[in-house]
Amino acid sequence: MSLGKTAIIRPDDEGFYSNGAYILIHPDDMKPGAALIQECATCQPLVMFIGGAKDDEYKNVLQFIFHPYNVKHESHQDIGYGTFQTASAITNIAREWHGKGQKICLVGHSYGADTAMVVAQVLSAEHIDIELVVTLDPVGRKFDDPPAKPDKLHRWLNVYVDYKKEECKNCGAFTPNGIAKLGGPWQSCAGADKNMVYVNYQYPCWSHAEAAEMFKQFGYDIEVANVK
């Protein structure tokens, strides 16, 4: 991979319908192949981006959000990427960074947003603070309804495609919007601190795939939330 990160874990036992489950992260004193995380005296605030289904193929988050954000901010943040199948590995990383006194920020798209909230709930149950979760058109059926905001989550920002809008009502099953509707979109979430609607009016049925455009709504919040 040419993204300036080291692949430190490939938790194939967590994946399904994909051979591409992996995590990329690169603090200087982390050693691949040993324990999950070595002593990290230089840990900085952690920002984990989590891609949805097929993100390892289409790279909506990996290439178009994680990579440019990493280039801009890696001098003062530890920035990682995981596929949506890697919830327990991301949770372990977050525990380690929190143990070093660092803030935690999670950004997920589609099924990756579902994973971000699962991680936030597990951490919150362990009384671990999460500075910020950003969900980009979250999709998933782990929850009967959009989840409640975890007690230890400070802020939750949600961008979503409004599938009830006229532009999005008739999207075919094989468009990004059609696939998202089959997956179970959360839409506006009552527990979020802020909800914003995103739609590409020129190509509305592709709105769900445009994670990078959604990310622009809250990118600044992520930059400032994790700077100590």
For residue 147, what are the CA distances in angstroms to 120, 132, 186?
11, 15, 9
pLDDT-derived band of residue 41, with 50, 70 and 90 as boundaries?
low
What is the DSSP-derived secondary structure letter of residue 66? Answer: I
In this prediction, residue 152 has a pLDDT band, given cuts at 50, 70 and 90, of very high
Query: Has residue 127 got a pLDDT over 50?
Result: yes
Q: Residue 26: is its pLDDT beyond 80? A: no
Would you say the pTM of this structure is higher than 0.95?
no
Predicted local distance difference test score (pLDDT) of residue 21:
59
Contact predicate 60/53, CB 8 Å: no
* Calpha distance 211→44 (Å, rounded): 25
The answer on pLDDT for 172 being more than 70 is yes
Mean pLDDT of 154-177: 88
Question: Tokens for 44?
Answer: 């900085």
Tell me the three state secondary structure of residue 122: helix
Structural domains of the chain in order of their starting residue, each with its CATH number: 6-31+41-225 (3.40.50)
